């Protein structure tokens, strides 16, 4: 396939280039910091089979608009999207297939299913989520931490059950899940979901130790989405884990 990588000069961009090449795909890069690619998606030339976007909210918004206009599938992993980007992705998905995930690793997608099961099975236990990432990460808490907390809250039928606990919060209110973020070094991404009872505690942990895990998932999603009908798909769809 001929794949356009939006954000190709970034940390994920580098991993995506390597994985795309290793799986026999040709890639073109889009990044305002472009050294060997183009600075804007409008400058892309020739046919593109899939766009993979790991950039910024503005990058995602532009990529989604471009994909809709040109009838090209989109795989997007950018987190912390603003309203404009969320709307552009949703609008694009009415005309082209889009895979959107806060985390493309198979392990996290299994963890989401385990967390839903645990949250239902241990209904009386408090739930908290903690994540650790490298110090240059722009958003906090991570999109994955929020998704894990929302999965647990959803499994218990709690609306607005997730709170960010960067500030002192006092007593934890009922039916609320706190999310904590730590930053340091080059940690690729670690997430723990705590289920805390009066007399025991369970910790469900995922650790990514190479960005390749996300890049491999995203390229797998690009191969899967190529030729599908329009719609908004998740990584669980790609992995065949929906309903887990």
Residue 233: phi and psi, rounded to 5, are -110, 160
Please select the residue that binds ligand NAD; options are 58, 126, 223, 237, rule is CB under 6 A.
Answer: 58
Judged by CB under 6 A, the chain residues 98 through 117 that form the site for ligand NAD are 101-104
DSSP-derived 3-state class of residue 136:
coil
On whether the CB atoms of residues 72 and 41 are closer than 8 A, the answer is no
CB of 203 to ligand NAD, least distance (A): 22
Please select the residue that binds ligand NAD; options are 5, 65, 73, 78, rule is CB under 6 A.
Answer: 78
Please select the residue that binds ligand NAD; options are 4, 19, 30, 88, rule is CB under 6 A.
Answer: 30
List the one residue out of 129, 154, 124 whose CA is nearest residue 143.
Answer: 129
Residue 36: phi and psi, rounded to 5, are -120, 5
- Which of the stretches 77-85, 156-164, 172-180, 219-227 binds ligand NAD when contact is defined by CB under 6 A? 77-85
Residues noted as catalytic? 133, 137
How far is Cα 51 from Cα 5, in angstroms, rounded to an integer? 6
How far is Cα 132 from Cα 140, in angstroms, rounded to an integer? 10
**Number of neighbours of residue 186 by Cβ within 10 angstroms:** 10
- Which of the stretches 72-80, 124-132, 165-173, 219-227 binds ligand NAD when contact is defined by CB under 6 A? 72-80
- Which of the stretches 24-32, 117-125, 146-154, 175-183 binds ligand NAD when contact is defined by CB under 6 A? 24-32
Q: Residue 108 or residue 162: which is nearer to ligand NAD going by CB?
A: 108
Three-class secondary structure assignment of 184-238:
CCCCCCEEEEEEECCCCEEEEEEECCCCHHHHHHHHHHHHHHCCCCCEEECHHHH
The site map against ligand NAD for 158-177 (x = CB under 6 A) is --------------------
Q: Residue 32 or residue 227: which is nearer to ligand NAD going by CB?
A: 32
Those residues whose C-beta lies under 8 Å from the C-beta of residue 7, and which sit 6 or more positions away, are 13, 30, 31, 53, 54, 55, 56, 59, 78
- Which of the stretches 20-28, 42-50, 96-104, 226-234 binds ligand NAD when contact is defined by CB under 6 A? 96-104
Please select the residue that binds ligand NAD; options are 48, 51, 59, 216, rule is CB under 6 A.
Answer: 59
On whether the CB atoms of residues 224 and 92 are closer than 8 A, the answer is no
Q: Residue 128 or residue 147: which is nearer to ligand NAD going by CB?
A: 147
Binding site for ligand NAD (CB under 6 A): 6-7, 9-13, 30-33, 54-56, 58-59, 62, 77-80, 101-104, 139, 214
């Amino acid at each position: 396939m001929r794949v356009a990588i939006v954000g190709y000069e970034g940390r994920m961009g580098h991993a995506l280039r390597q994985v795309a090449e290793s799986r026999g795909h040709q890639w073109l890069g889009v990044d305002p910091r472009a050294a060997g690619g183009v600075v804007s998606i409008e400058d892309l030339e020739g046919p593109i089979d899939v766009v993979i976007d790991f950039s910024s909210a503005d990058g995602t918004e532009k990529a989604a608009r471009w994909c809709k206009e040109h009838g090209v599938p989109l795989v997007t992993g950018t987190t912390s999207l603003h309203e404009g980007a969320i709307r552009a992705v949703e609008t694009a998905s009415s005309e082209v297939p889009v895979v959107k995930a806060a985390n493309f690793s198979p392990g996290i997608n299994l963890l989401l299913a385990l967390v839903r099961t645990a949250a239902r099975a241990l209904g009386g236990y408090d739930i908290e989520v903690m994540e650790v990432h490298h110090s240059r990460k722009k958003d906090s808490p991570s999109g994955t931490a929020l998704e894990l907390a929302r999965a647990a809250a959803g499994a218990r039928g709690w609306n607005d059950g997730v709170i960010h606990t960067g500030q002192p919060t006092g007593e934890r209110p009922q039916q609320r899940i706190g999310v904590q973020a730590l930053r340091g070094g080059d940690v690729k991404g670690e997430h723990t979901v705590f289920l805390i009872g009066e007399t025991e505690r369970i910790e469900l942990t995922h650790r990514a130790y190479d960005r390749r895990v996300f890049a491999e998932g995203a390229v797998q999603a690009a191969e899967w989405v190529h030729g599908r009908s329009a719609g908004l798909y998740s990584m669980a769809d790609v992995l065949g884990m929906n309903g887990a």
